[in-house]
Structure 1
Amino acid sequence: MTPHLEEVTPANVDAAIGIRIRPDQEHAVEPVVKSLAEAYVHPAGVAWPRLIVDDGRPVGFLMAFLGIDWHGDGSVRRSGLWRLNIAADAQGRGYGRYAVDSVADLIRRREGKEMYVTWHPGPDGPEEFYLRLGFRKNGETSGGQTVGVLEL
């Protein structure tokens, strides 16, 4: 496995939009097209969408948030992983871990000390994945999702 991240461009946007997760996961994460629309409407530098490519094949999509106004009132700014979509046929091969590590590295380079993520709660959500990677629940929810934090 030698994945890398690519900026989403006119040349690969169709590949990004074509990333499909397993049908049983669709309730837990928005499709890539919604993420790209959200990236478009946020101020420059807040949303960081990237295609995950391995051996020339798109295997996933991630979108980080950088310095987002967490409460909407300017009191708290946070950075973390906003979306993670790993193609159904590429799951279980380390691409999710690679995505989390890539965002953590980006936040560290920006001198961040914490990385945030939210996830759909329940037995069919990705909670165990994030907890195995070292995130801890911080007692908050956001939009009905569990908030986790990773100390960097």
Structure 2
Amino acid sequence: MTSNLHLEPITESNIDAALTIEVRPDQRELVAPVVKSLAEAYVHPEIAWPRLIVDGERPVGFLMGFFDADFAAPATRAGGTPDLRSGLWRLNIAAAEQGRGYGSYAVTAVTDEVRRRGGTRVTVTWHPGGHGPEGFYAKLGFRATGELSGDQVVGELDLT
């Protein structure tokens, strides 16, 4: 990892590069492809924060943060208090670039943005199982909350 590591918003000039980011074949069932993330960002522009992870001039990954998403159940939303959360929605590090610190950089970038926006916790979800990213997130301080979001474990990092 170099000191030229930075995030870029997805634009007309880098969308093709973002769409080439692919995880390892054994990870494809664990994370949606970038094209799906960009479609979700288009549908949810008020909460989505898609970014290309670039090392120097080389795209090495994609992340999508989310801010103030309502995690409350649909029945709760109708008349109850919203459960607003912010965190990491998607993380795709190119297969050939994994193990170089880019994933940790991405999580830190989202954590910093949550703090900048006044947040006190970062949420992430992952598919359970031995070959999933749970160990990666645990090393960064995330702890499972006991909740599920669909079939994914919900983890949180307390920023206070």
Fold shared by both chains (TM-score > 0.5): yes
Equivalence map 1:22-101=2 (5 Å): 22-42=24-44, 44-71=45-72, 72=74, 73=77, 75-101=82-108
Tell whether 2:127 aligns with 1:126.
no
Distance 1:95 1:45 in 2: 26
Distance 2:118 2:19 in 1: 31
What is the DSSP-based 3-state SS (H/G/I as helix, E as strand, rest coil) of the residue aligned with 2:135? Answer: helix
Which residue in 2 is equivalent to 1:10? 12
Deviation at 1:75, TM superposition (A): 1.7
Tell whether 2:112 aligns with 1:110.
no
What is the root-mean-square deviation in Å for CA atoms of aligned residues? 0.9
Mark the runs of 5 or more structure 1 residues left unpaired by the alignment: none
> Which of these two proteins has the greater Rg computed from alpha carbons?
2
**73-82 vs 19-28, greater mean Cα deviation:** 73-82
Deviation at 1:45, TM superposition (A): 3.2
Tell me the TM-score normalized by structure 2: 0.92
What is the DSSP-based 3-state SS (H/G/I as helix, E as strand, rest coil) of the residue aligned with 2:113? Answer: helix
Deviation at 1:69, TM superposition (A): 1.1
Tell me the TM-score normalized by structure 1: 0.97
Tell whether 2:144 aligns with 1:143.
no
Deviation at 1:56, TM superposition (A): 0.2
Which residue in 2 is equivalent to 1:19? 21
Report runs of 4+ in structure 1 exceeding 2 Å deviation.
none
Distance 1:70 1:14 in 2: 31
Distance 1:132 1:45 in 2: 30
Distance 1:41 1:138 in 2: 27
Deviation at 1:128, TM superposition (A): 0.1
Mark the runs of 5 or more structure 2 residues left unpaired by the alignment: none
* Percentage identity across paired residues of the two chains: 62
Count of matched residue positions in the alignment of Structure 1 and Structure 2 = 151
